[in-house]
Amino acid sequence: MLDVKGVYFKHKNQTTDVLKGISFNAEKGGLTTILGPNGSGKTTLFKCISGLWKYYKGEIKVDGIIIDKLSFKKRARLFSVVPQEHEPPFPYSVFDVVLMGRASYIGVFSSPSKKDYEKAETALKTVGIEHLKNIPYTKISGGERQLTLIARAIAQEAPVMLLDEPTSHLDFRNQINILKKIKEIANMRGITVVMTLHDPNLAGLFSDKVVVINSGSKVAEGLPKDIITEELIKRVYDIEIKKADIDGKSIIYPVL
Amino acid sequence: MVYRTYIKVLALFLILIWVGALHASTFTLTDKLGRTVTVNVPVKRAVIVISYELIPAMNLWNQVAGVSRWAEEHNDLYKAIVRENPSLRKPNFGAGSDVNVEAVLKLNPDLVITWTYNPDTIRFLEQKGIKVIGIYPDSLTELYDVMRMHGKLFGKENKAEEVIAEMEKIFNLIKERVSKIPPEKRKKAIHLLGKPTTVSCGVGVTNDIINIAGGINPAGSINSRNTDVSIEKIIQWNPDVIFIWGSARYNESWLYGNSQWRYIKAVREKRVYKLPRWSTWSPRLAPIALYMAMKLYPEQFQDVNFEKVADRFYQKVFGISYYKVRQYEGY
Amino acid sequence: MKGIKALIILISPIIVGWLALFFGAYGVTPFMVLKILLNETLHIFEIGDIPEKVIIIDIRLPRVILAGLVGACLSGAGVTLQGIFRNPLVDPFILGISAGAAFGCAITIGFLSSLPIQFMAFIFAVSAVVIAYTVARTQGEISRLPLILSGVIVSAFFTALVSIVKFLVDPHKLQSIVYWLMGSFSLADWKAVKVCFVGVIFGVLPIFLMRWRLNVMSMGEEEAKALGVNVSRDRLLFIVFSTLAVAVATSLCGIIGWVGLMVPHLVRMLTGPDHKTLVPLSFTAGASFMIAADTVSRTLTTFDIPVGIITALTGAPFFIYLMKRGGKEAWGK
């Protein structure tokens, strides 16, 4: 579904490449995690995929369509981006925020139609937050905000959903809930989810595929249980770990 | 013994004269900003920022070191005189609203006479050690005071009185004709300024000359120099005559062509007049008053030829013909 | 509750405008006012050609309508720019419009007497924003900070030019310039209303149609782009339309501050930040406020108090009161 081929990227006035020829693909309806330490180029890769940064070498395709020359509107119908939750300047209601996901379907001189309102409602229900509909976005918890942004992405009806570190501001309970929800959405609705995470365990527990990045290059790509090994973690994170299997699931823990 | 008394008396006499002379050579006054200024008189090198029409009027040419740029650029009378007599030309130092202090200092003046439009300029000049007097005549009496002050400063008291006398001649002519008119027949007159809805109010020379000309200024009860009013108010006042400030950007036709003004008596009867483009802070205030009076009560001045009276005044006060100055009015 | 507040704000200009017709320096009885209005619209009640008719139909009515339209323009531009700059404390003069208009006025009064002030004020107001925008563009893609910065620079530049004009011009014309800069509706007539209407059609109306997009744009540039909005293009459109509205209004009645800053903020506090409702309510609230302020300015005393003073004097305390009562809420959080 999402094909990234040989992507090189460097900043305007720099000589060193931040991304050095990355290639991977994400299957339709699956949850693909890009894993890597800070400074590995995760965020840069993310921004290239989402279309924010355009000046890269290489090819990024969605369902066969090359994306770099697409208009904002067309791109938004292919990718929905769920940023890390943040505080907007004005206290929009949760519903208002979710409705914004319909922007690529609404003309410049138009306002949302009945259909747009319905889709926003549906998105809220899918994520399970209709009870928060009229509450100001600024008054709900971090976890609820992240869910709101996910609902917005659903309202956007794009086949690919990109999430940038969706768990970084959340407490333990919310981290798990969010990831469960995301997986549910990916599987139920056939949305191709690509997200960046830094926690290998969470990546392992929830992803269908993991792509490991380090220093701008792809280090590994495949099923989590195959990829996340002691050797890989040592190489990428420089930490000694031990792997354990419980009930068919693998987790890693650091050797202290 | 008689000698000693005689010498004592002589000494006393001499001392008195000396003290008197000392005293007579300085002049202390309070200016418009309330500042007390002491000046050595007669002033020998003055810088005149706004009262430059008094230079020809009181023959101050040899005592003036510089004038404002406006004098030669915007003042018809001054321009006419120096064009006719280039030897009278004075250096200039900038405009009245912004004085180039260095240029002023270069002229080495012993006094600067300016208006109080920008008190900061005055303070600034003072700090640089220059004596400054600020003026802003808000009535005819104040204008006379300012003129007399110029007389005292330059040792031209007599000339000042002469000019005032000439002005009074015209004012008396007006008063004489106008006093015959009973109060109920007096005309209401307003004076419009930069905007057609800005009127001259109770404070200022304009109000004084409207009164001298026998008119009644309905805005005279407002205690300020001028103010903005709504058109409704002007309609309510319903003036008989409307005067427009000489330097306004619009003239009578603007009012005549504007449907909002059509019910006002002055507009209906086509008695809207733009005043000549002269400064009202000058001896020329007198002929302006005459102009106003003649427009207010033409029947009282049938025998008076305005231009001839103005010309006579110009010749006597400024030493130049009215017709000559008029050539320069198109600035 | 919120719905009722919104409804009141929505219809307020009609009520306030209506009431304003009964006030004025020339006393006209309410009965007469009604008669005249009915005569003008329904052609009943013969009243003949009396001065009261001129007062109501030619003076008060266009003045009230003009004040309303100007208020809508200023307030509409304010709410738009607050959305674009993601800052509730931005006013419509931030991009240099008022400095440009002031310069246009100064140079016309000072040197180009034959040209109409309104036209020149408009031209330079628009030029100022064009310059500010172009300067900001040299940074590459336009984002908020360069725009604000270049707006400040352009304002300073035009203000300096105004000073030069004041310096060179003859003392009497200086007065004229000063008068014009203090906002006033005293010369309002039907012609001005027609001109302002053009500003409304080409400025206020497009903003109304585009209003929902402000929600998205106010979330941030990156986010808005990811949601499918062509941020540069839409931002440019918003700026063009608000500049038009403000430039037209300013050229007709001088510089009236405070309305564009405060009214949208107040409405946001009362009925919420969703631009779908905020924008139209800002228009109507701005109109009502301006009409009320102008009515006070022309009836409180014999003379017309400059309306900018009224807007500041009434607006500021009310604003402070609302802020205190609202606590943190009041900041829109």
Residue pLDDT, tens place only, B178-189: 998 999 999 999
- Check CB contact under 8 Å for C176 and B248: yes
pLDDT > 70: percent of chain B:
95
A188-223 tens-digit pLDDT = 888 999 999 888 889 888 999 999 988 888 888 999
Q: Provide mean pLDDT across the span C63-81.
A: 95
Q: Does B70 touch chain C (CB under 8 A)?
A: yes
**Number of A–C residue contacts, CB under 8 Å:** 88
- Give the pLDDT score at C333: 45
Q: Provide mean pLDDT across the span C201-207.
A: 94
Q: Residue B42: which residues within 8 A CB-CB, separation 6 or more? A: B63, B153, B154, B155, B156
Residues 267-306 of B with CB under 8 A from C: none
CA–CA distance, A217 with A222 (Å, rounded to integer): 15
Q: Does B222 touch chain C (CB under 8 A)?
A: yes
How many Å lie between the alpha carbon of A21 and the closest alpha carbon of chain C?
A: 24
Q: Provide mean pLDDT across the span C32-50.
A: 81
Q: Residue C132: which residues within 8 A CB-CB, separation 6 or more? A: C95, C96, C147, C150, C151, C153, C154
Picking from C219, C241, C271, C279 by the largest number of A CB atoms within 10 A of its own CB, the best residue to mutate is: C219
**Number of B–C residue contacts, CB under 8 Å:** 102
- Check CB contact under 8 Å for A89 and C274: no
Q: Which residues of C sit within 8 Å Cβ distance of B?
A: 24-27, 51, 54-55, 58-60, 63, 109, 113, 166-168, 170-176, 179-180, 184, 186-187, 189, 298, 302-304, 306
Does the structure show a pLDDT above 70 at C331? no
Q: Does C139 touch chain A (CB under 8 A)?
A: no
Extract the tokens encoding B157. Answer: 């008291």
Residue scoring higher pLDDT (C49 or A183) = A183
- Check CB contact under 8 Å for B198 and C179: yes
- Give the sheet arrangement for strand A192-197, strand by strand: A79-82, A160-164, A192-197, A31-35, A209-214, A217-222
Looking at every residue in chain A, the average pLDDT score rounds to 89
CA nearest to A135 within chain C: C272
- Give the pLDDT score at C332: 47
Task: Tabulate helix, strand, coil % of chain A (nearest 5).
Answer: 40, 30, 35
pTM, two decimals, is 0.83
Does the structure show a pLDDT above 70 at A184? yes
Are B232 and C59 in contact by the 8 Å Cβ rule? The answer is yes
Contacts of C222 in chain A (CB under 8 A): 52, 83
**Chain C adjacent subunits, 3+ CB pairs under 8 A:** A, B
- Check CB contact under 8 Å for C223 and A83: yes
- Give the pLDDT score at B20: 62
- Give the pLDDT score at C2: 74
- Check CB contact under 8 Å for A72 and C234: no
- Give the pLDDT score at B217: 96
Does the structure show a pLDDT above 60 at C328? no
B272-289 tens-digit pLDDT = 999 988 888 889 999 999
Continuous H helices in A15-171: 42-50, 72-78, 94-99, 114-127, 142-155
CA–CA distance, A200 with B38 (Å, rounded to integer): 90
- Give the pLDDT score at A135: 93
CA–CA distance, B325 with A141 (Å, rounded to integer): 83
Residue B218 to residues A169, B142, B233, C323: CA-CA distances in angstroms? 73, 22, 10, 45
- Residues (pLDDT < 70) of chain B are 1, 19-24, 94-100, 330-331
Q: Provide mean pLDDT across the span A122-136.
A: 92
Contacts of C273 in chain A (CB under 8 A): 90-92, 96
Are C295 and C23 in contact by the 8 Å Cβ rule? The answer is yes
Q: Does B108 touch chain C (CB under 8 A)?
A: no
